[in-house]
Amino acid sequence: MPIHNEVLDQLAARRSVRVFTGDPVTPEQRAAILQAAFMAPTAGCQQLYTILDITDPALRRTLADLCDHQPMVAAAPLCLVFLADCRRWPRAYRAAGAAPREPGPGDLLLAMADACIAAQNAVTAAESLGLGSCYVGDILENAEAVRAALALPPHVVPAALLIFGVPTPQQAARPKPARFAPEAVVCDNTYPDRTEAALRADFAARSGGAGYDFDADLRAFCARKYDSDFSREMSRSAAVYLQDFL
Amino acid sequence: MPIHNEVLDQLAARRSVRVFTGDPVTPEQRAAILQAAFMAPTAGCQQLYTILDITDPALRRTLADLCDHQPMVAAAPLCLVFLADCRRWPRAYRAAGAAPREPGPGDLLLAMADACIAAQNAVTAAESLGLGSCYVGDILENAEAVRAALALPPHVVPAALLIFGVPTPQQAARPKPARFAPEAVVCDNTYPDRTEAALRADFAARSGGAGYDFDADLRAFCARKYDSDFSREMSRSAAVYLQDFL
């Protein structure tokens, strides 16, 4: 028998919400969302992130445009950008008279993890308040323009953009997309490549449809997502951020 | 008045647990933790991760050693490694007859985010079950040996190692370390460098102690953490993983 409790049920029910009613996120709700982010586990209790609350409507429109033209980024009641911040602590070290090394790739990945872990606590907190949320991964695109818009110095990298608000009834009623079966993504001890037959079965089980066409579905998804302009731009842009750390 | 509910209170109460009783994590608890991870938000519903359940005692000891010699990795009842997996979907694309591009830095950062978001849902689920957890960021170190131990192919990168178990009473009673004040880590719209005076005030407020010595504390922390051998190793090792994507 699967275990149920309030927390597990909320984690299971949570789904991305991209359309919001006109209701605001109240200051108390915003504070609870941020507090949950702060309470997240963080490496050495360093909080290797800075959170930008994007309140300026013009900046929201700019970000909506830079994030693959998604108007919801401008329209959402609350929009937070979680930045992996590899700058605060070295600045503090120097202020204290130390001479720290330059930030490296390990610092970036650790801060990316810190920022995403905090972001997910914000999502969970919002869900508990009846608020919907959506990650916008496209914030990784257009590094030069995003840096300019958010005044990001070196060693500060966008990890996640999150929007929050009250879901419309239609959004709240949408089904949650199916996940892979556990055996497709969990393995004992070492990483095994799935055989092609297993991969086909994994995707068919996830689709749930009797007439699932693996070849057509994966080719279309590859063209629409993985080989899309925005996906290629994301890797170009991410490489710009990485340069600081290499 | 701050908002309280069951979820918010649990997120606030959760703290890292590194010592566990001899009680096991039951199969039902393990299933609930994994299910919560699967239910996490995931870019395009792709689940860009693979989770390794490290059940082999010898492998646990190897990982404990590779993670900066932390015996808790071997001793914990449950140990999950969350891998950013940029390999599953391209393999499926190729199986379907597509010719996808090579994975790039954007794919890596997106998958790192996906894996960490899923990992944090696992942590939240564990807390709701009365189980303690701890992230071990050191899994990013020793890339060559970790790759060999976990049989990681190219484009599969450790994002987080998590241990779980029943907290000892002593661990459960430990206070949660203080965070920065909200104004130290949340800003409106753009990234401002904190002035040196603000940085000093941020750290003093976080320490809570009247006799806080910023210079001594930050110099000691820099030497112990940021300029430590393990931190330098983490950046060397992360660069090895990054090579696949550049």
pLDDT in tens, B97-118: 999 999 999 999 999 999 999 9
Taking alpha carbons only, the member of B74, B34, B64 closest to residue B52 is: B34
- Cβ contact B93–A226 (<8 Å): yes
Tokens representing residue B195 in the block: 């002035």
CA distances from B42 to A116, B49, B129 (A): 12, 10, 23
Which of A13-25 are b and which e, b meaning 16 or more Cβ less than 10 Å from the residue's Cβ?
ebbbbbbbeeeeb
3-state secondary structure of A100: coil
Asked if B183 contacts B213 with a C-beta cutoff of 8 angstroms, the reply is no
Which residues does chain A have within 8 Å of residue B188's beta carbon, measured at their own beta carbons? 52-53, 55-56
**The pLDDT of residue A1 is above 90:** no
CA distance, residue B193 to nearest chain A CA (Å):
8
Taking alpha carbons only, the member of A87, A19, A3 closest to residue B185 is: A87
pTM of the model: 0.98
Give me the pLDDT at residue B223, please: 97
**The pLDDT of residue A209 is above 80:** no
- Cβ contact A104–B235 (<8 Å): yes
Tokens representing residue B143 in the block: 């890339």
CA distances from A111 to A99, A136, B43, B58, B128 (A): 20, 18, 19, 30, 26
Query: In order of start, what are the domains of chain A with their CATH numbers?
Result: 6-176 (3.40.109.10)
* Identity of residue A169: P
Asked if B232 contacts A101 with a C-beta cutoff of 8 angstroms, the reply is yes
CA distances from A226 to A51, A91, B107 (A): 28, 38, 9
Which residues does chain A have within 8 Å of residue B6's beta carbon, measured at their own beta carbons? 6-7, 128
The dihedral region occupied by A72, where left means phi > 0, alpha psi between -120 and 50, and beta the remainder, is alpha
Asked if B200 contacts B191 with a C-beta cutoff of 8 angstroms, the reply is no
Tokens representing residue A244 in the block: 């600081």
- Cβ contact B95–A125 (<8 Å): no
Instruction: Look up tokens 């790739």; give the residue.
Output: A105
CA–CA separation, B195 vs A91, rounded Å? 10
Which residues are CB-contacts of A94 (< 8 A; sequence separation ≥ 6)?
A100
Partner A, chain B 21-40, Cβ-Cβ below 8 Å: 28-29, 31-32, 34-36, 38-40
A109 touches chain B (CB under 8 A): yes
A92 touches chain B (CB under 8 A): yes
A101 touches chain B (CB under 8 A): yes
**The pLDDT of residue A204 is above 90:** yes
- Cβ contact A242–B242 (<8 Å): yes
Q: Which of B123, B146, B180, B186 to mutate to test the interface with A (most CBs of A within 10 A)?
A: B186
Which residues does chain B have within 8 Å of residue A53's beta carbon, measured at their own beta carbons? 186-189
Q: How do the pLDDT tens digits run along chain B, 246 residues long? A: 899 999 999 999 999 999 999 999 999 999 999 999 999 999 999 999 999 999 999 999 999 999 999 999 999 999 999 999 999 999 999 999 999 999 999 999 999 999 999 999 999 999 999 999 999 999 999 999 999 999 999 999 999 999 999 999 999 899 999 999 999 999 999 999 999 999 999 999 999 878 899 999 999 999 999 999 999 999 999 999 999 999
Tell me the average pLDDT of chain A: 97
Between A8, A90, A191, which is nearest B83 by CB? A191
Within 13 Å of residue A137, how many CA atoms lie on the same side as its CB?
25
Between B41, B53, B222, which is nearest A135 by CB? B41
Give me the pLDDT at residue A137, please: 96
The H or E element that residue B50 is part of is strand B49-53
The count of other CB atoms within 10 Å of the CB of residue B44 is: 16
B14 touches chain A (CB under 8 A): yes
Which residues does chain A have within 8 Å of residue B245's beta carbon, measured at their own beta carbons? 235
B145 touches chain A (CB under 8 A): no
A223 touches chain B (CB under 8 A): yes
Give me the pLDDT at residue A43, please: 97
Asked if A191 contacts B152 with a C-beta cutoff of 8 angstroms, the reply is yes
Q: Give the torsion sign (CA, A222, A226, A227, A228).
A: positive
Which residues does chain B have within 8 Å of residue A203's beta carbon, measured at their own beta carbons? 92
CA distance, residue A21 to nearest chain B CA (Å):
21
Under the banding of pLDDT at 50, 70 and 90, the label for residue A185 is very high
Interchain CB contacts (distance < 8 Å): A and B: 392
Between A41, A97, A133, which is nearest B16 by CB? A41
3-state secondary structure of A136: coil
Between A3, A56, A113, which is nearest B160 by CB? A113
**The pLDDT of residue A208 is above 90:** no
